[in-house]
Chains A and B, each alone.
Chain A
Amino acid sequence: MAIRSCAEESPAFSELKWAFDNKRKAISKLMEGGRKAVWMMGDDVPEEVIMAAGMLPVRLCGYYGPRPNADKYLEISFGAYWRGLFEAVLNEEYAGMMDYLVLSNSSDILLKFFYYLTELKRMEPERKLPVIEFVDYSLFSKDFRSQEHNLRETREFIAKVEGWCGRKISDEDLAEAIRVQNEYKRALRAFSALRYGKESRVMGSEALTAIAGSFYLDKPKATELIKQLTKEAEKWPRVENVRVLYTGSMQETTEVYELMEDAGLNVITEDKLFGDRYADSDTDPGMPPVRAIASRYLNRFPSSERAFIKERAAFIPERVREVGAEGMVIFMNHNDESYIWDFPKQRDVLKKMGIQTLMIEDQYYPLRDREELSRKFSSFARTVKGGRQ
């Protein structure tokens, strides 16, 4: 389903959509003041540290076009989402715009990328790859070892960034970054609240556009626009589609969400960074800032790549209840199917709640069979609607 006219007519949405559709231009604009850009690959790069240094945090989005570099350098075991990210580092799209690239331990694939890119930099110095860094948070266990380790890792990352920006990052700098970031996340959460429940006012593709678009704007401006959009969206017509929670491979474009919408579904939440996971929780402003940052990245929505089956089997149903979802869609790209290990237990718990699930596997970019996908989505929508009566 294309973006609805109510959204298109919104000035705030238009600005956010412009940034979403024109990421390169939006980032260039942000870099005009001469700020050094620190690009982030992975969910768990402590953005607040980069902001506190006066540097520009830039969220890397995958490249959606031909991917010759990914095809050349990556094994078949890397799914479509990962191939897009890798391509975006190496092709011309952002050439010359990356001063630093920080990867986080949010997935096993990202550690591989760190090794691959580091080696590629050695092998092919003519590529002029950026300075590459890895934030190795321990994210699976939330135990004392992880807490202690992550605090150490945060301190070391701060020291690294201080080296980049050439000055000391004070607690005051960090506290101010946390304040700005928290306000932004609160605005995103207030907007996302309009996606939930029977009174849902926002389509998934509109939400994805607005949330991801805001990544490519200055934080205070993004916050303002999201707040403005929230006020406007309160008056948007109610969405009647079947409300679903989305999990699986990350969606950075609206294509799959739109297919789902055309089939009668609506993604009202997702456990993904390009979506609700970005703003899942605040960084505690009452805590010493370094500790607050370390804690924040350990205690967020449990992602499939960094959480136990048991945690996910508790979290997903709880989230379904919280947002009033009627179904769950797990959508997996080919060779990105590790989510399968989570699925049976989630499905069993959801079944007891009367919540239906749809599993889509073996997907590629570009999508190979849109018709078949549409059929599956439509059939699922009909099944869930049947259950409504």
Chain B
Amino acid sequence: MAEEKGYETRSVKRLNTPKLTSAYQKEWFMGLRKRIEAGEPFGFVGANTPMEILQAMDIPFVVNQWWTAICAAKQMGPRFYDLLEQAGYRNDICSYCAAAYACSLDPKPEEGPWGGLPNPTLIICGETCSSGIKIEELMTEAFGAEAFRIHHYHQDVIRDNWWELSCDNWEELIGKKRLDFYENELRLLISFLEQKTGRRLDLNRLIETLNNVNEQETYYRMTRDLIAKTVPAPVTVTDTVNAVMQAQWHRGTRWGVEMAKSLYEEVKERVEKGIPAVPNEKIRLLWIGRGLWFNLAFYQHFEEKYGAAFIWTMYLGIASDGYIRRNVEENPIRSLASRFCFLEDILHVPPFNSQWFVKEAKHNQIDGVVFLVPENCMNNGDFSYNIIKSLEDAGFPVCVLRADPADSKKWDQERMVAAVEELIENRIIPKKF
């Protein structure tokens, strides 16, 4: 890839867990094809949907935005976005959500990642973006699937420091009205799935799944905390993003728990043995925004020259703080509703996002922040002004990169490197040294 692009796009791997999760993911995907061929249902879901229900019903599924990440990592984005353009759409908008639909337009779908995306029979999406809903509508038609849309209801209760409430006092955090709304939506979703698949959701299995999720996410929290307090950091984001994202796909399973535990133990071992990820670590960076899947090497680009290590992304961060919900048994559906309806708010709604980023920057002993703002997402809007101001007021300089996180063709390596170097040289080094 280095030859084609003129720069390295693949990161150097330090841990074994990401290798295990990648191998399993590929194997699972191959097995998926066989299951579908044998007549099993196959769900295609948005990242903002309660996948735990499908997990507990043993309905295999692929997550839309994560599929995009796989396409990006395989450097296949440009091929798919060009297909969109040929069909009368555009190759430069909604790339994070449209890759799978583009796959349906591919005359050679088997050439897609891992033999291509099988045709989903069920599509589930949340009504948080009108473009997303339309893309889902196009996919439903293209794949001949059945769709369920989870209606959306806004967060009308604003609480400071949400992470202090989310594990145990989630009813107070979300508010009764919104929780009632989403609890009802989940019950409708369950009825839909039971009716369409002929399977039933077993209450005991659901509780077990949710407890597994809590266990898995607790390992992530412990991992995050280890990285946060250890200087130099034992690992960087390139070690954690794949391991977390792939295991999150299977959250609620014992395998998911085992992989989270394995990641934690590997990180712990490095801490105990004093093995740093970047031996000359001088600067710790936090990355806000979607992962740069087509160019994970970018995160390592600044290590040698500056001793600058990216140690935080939302993937491990949100796994640590966003998922854990205790008191599951009392009302598992309601606890799940409280988790999934709030996940988007953590990232996109002020002040939940800004307060959390500041808290995480402090907790992880961060020196500077790189904020990727997607320039082609029709639904982008996190009140970035507020995020940047909150971080900078708290002493964390921020550099904004405007780019398409899914389409490698539009990435301007030179400009992006220069922007981060500017942050390091002019705003972090003079302040810190």
Residues of A within 8 A of B (CB): 72-78, 105, 107-109, 111-112, 114-116, 118-119, 122-123, 134, 136, 138, 140-141, 145-146, 149, 304-306, 308-310, 335, 337-338, 340-344, 347
Of the candidates A119, A138, A342, which one forms a contact with B383 in the assembled complex, judged by CB atoms under 8 Å apart?
A: A119
Contacts of B402 in A (CB 8 A): 76
Are A78 and B381 in contact, CB atoms less than 8 angstroms apart?
Answer: yes
Total interface residues on B, using CB and 8 Å? 44
**Is B226 engaged at the interface, CB distance under 8 Å to the other chain?**
no
Are B131 and A341 in contact, CB atoms less than 8 angstroms apart?
Answer: yes
Of the candidates B128, B134, B188, B382, which one forms a contact with A308 in the assembled complex, judged by CB atoms under 8 Å apart?
A: B134
Q: Residue on A with the closest CB to B89?
A: A340
**Is B433 engaged at the interface, CB distance under 8 Å to the other chain?**
no
Most buried by A among B153, B155, B350, B384: B350
Q: How far is the CB of A268 from chain B (nearest CB, A)?
A: 26
Contacts of B149 in A (CB 8 A): 140-141
**Is B43 engaged at the interface, CB distance under 8 Å to the other chain?**
no
Contacts A76-B373, A344-B88 known; A146 to B151 CB distance under 8 Å? yes
- Write out, one digit per residue, whether chain B residues 371-389 have a CB within 8 A of any chain A CB (1) or not (0): 0011101111111111000
**Is B87 engaged at the interface, CB distance under 8 Å to the other chain?**
yes
Please list 13 pairs of residues, one from A and one from B, whose beta carbons are closer than 8 Å in the complex, sorted by A's number: A77-B379, A107-B130, A111-B154, A119-B350, A119-B386, A122-B158, A138-B127, A140-B149, A141-B149, A149-B181, A304-B130, A305-B130, A309-B137
Of the candidates A134, A136, A304, A337, which one forms a contact with B93 in the assembled complex, judged by CB atoms under 8 Å apart?
A: A337
**Is B190 engaged at the interface, CB distance under 8 Å to the other chain?**
no
A25 to B138, CA, bound (A): 47
Are A119 and B351 in contact, CB atoms less than 8 angstroms apart?
Answer: yes
Besides A116-B350, A341-B94, 6 other CB < 8 A contacts?
Answer: A77-B374, A119-B386, A149-B181, A338-B131, A341-B89, A347-B88
**Is B241 engaged at the interface, CB distance under 8 Å to the other chain?**
no
Counting from the closest, the 5 A-B pairs by CB-CB distance are A344-B88, A341-B134, A77-B380, A119-B350, A112-B381
Are A342 and B93 in contact, CB atoms less than 8 angstroms apart?
Answer: no
**Is B330 engaged at the interface, CB distance under 8 Å to the other chain?**
no
Are B137 and A308 in contact, CB atoms less than 8 angstroms apart?
Answer: yes
Are A309 and B138 in contact, CB atoms less than 8 angstroms apart?
Answer: yes
Are B153 and A136 in contact, CB atoms less than 8 angstroms apart?
Answer: yes
Are B385 and A76 in contact, CB atoms less than 8 angstroms apart?
Answer: no
**Is B135 engaged at the interface, CB distance under 8 Å to the other chain?**
yes
Q: Residue on A with the closest CB to B149?
A: A141
Contacts A145-B151, A347-B88 known; A108 to B134 CB distance under 8 Å? no
Most buried by A among B135, B380, B381, B402: B381
